[in-house]
Amino acid sequence: MKESTYLKRVAAIHDISGFGKCSLTVALPILSAAGIETSAMPTALLSTHTGGISGFTYLDTTSEMRPFMNHWKSLDIQFDAIYSGFLGSFEQLDIVKDFIDEFRNEGNIVLVDPVMADNGELYKIFTPEFAVGMRDLCRKADIIVPNITEASLLLDRPYRPGVYTQSYIEDMVEGLSRLGPKQIVLTGVYFDDETLGAATYDASTGQVGYTLVPKIPGYYHGTGDVFASALLSGLLNGFSLDKSAGIAVRFTAESINRTYMAGTDIRFGVNFEQSIPSLLKELELV
């Protein structure tokens, strides 16, 4: 068991979707379980996420974001990581860019998850122009965590469904790093129909890594947020990019698998809660 008196702190900038586990309702429990203090800046308040559930309510909380930022700044709060996810408007992209300028320091990690699309399609509340704005935010990040659809939008390339080749994936991660972020974690990577996982790329060493696990049928909602939160948990617990991505792939896959076995509606989010003990073992916290 690791002993530590210093608690790492993350600023998590995502929406709160009341039902359908994703964004803050996933990031908060995962990061907390991993021994990381998490400050939440909500970007919106929804009754459910927007993926396949109709009739959701949506309260945009943009007007609270700068006051949150200014108050945190006045308290001189330091963050070990800035972690952004679902952002609902161009103004929010600008606010997050300013937040990064205000709170970036020598040692902290800026992780941007460019949440906007999956399976070749933008989520219905986003426009192609938003993807251009997201590209600009990604330029300021140390690490980005797109899926293949988001990566294609960031690179302004047409989406291509898999199976992929190693050269296709490596060209993609290198292209993404040329936008600015030195570390890339690309999700939804597969080289055959039986396995699925993530690729990592570190532009400072040129190293590419893969973690692939057996594929589970079905598209489960909120898994990108589960993955990115576990990835950040690994990084802040001192693991390398590649090891952290491996931890995140296994945690997400175990959570999906349990949800699949239970026959839960794929829109409701995955049972990550009961994978937390395995996550803590992998993080060497228990």
Interface residue list for ligand PXL (CB under 6 A): 15, 17, 22-23, 46, 49-51, 86, 115, 123, 222, 224-225
Least distance between ligand PXL and beta carbon 249 (Å)? 17
Instruction: Report the 10 Å Cβ neighbour count for 29.
Output: 16
Backbone angles phi, psi at 85, to 5 degrees: -135, -120
Least distance between ligand PXL and beta carbon 54 (Å)? 12
Least distance between ligand PXL and beta carbon 139 (Å)? 21
- Closest to ligand PXL by CB, 25 vs 177, is 25
Least distance between ligand PXL and beta carbon 167 (Å)? 29
- Closest to ligand PXL by CB, 246 vs 269, is 269
Backbone angles phi, psi at 234, to 5 degrees: -65, -50
- Closest to ligand PXL by CB, 225 vs 242, is 225
- Closest to ligand PXL by CB, 57 vs 78, is 57
d(CA 50, CA 22): 11
Least distance between ligand PXL and beta carbon 272 (Å)? 13
- Closest to ligand PXL by CB, 239 vs 272, is 272
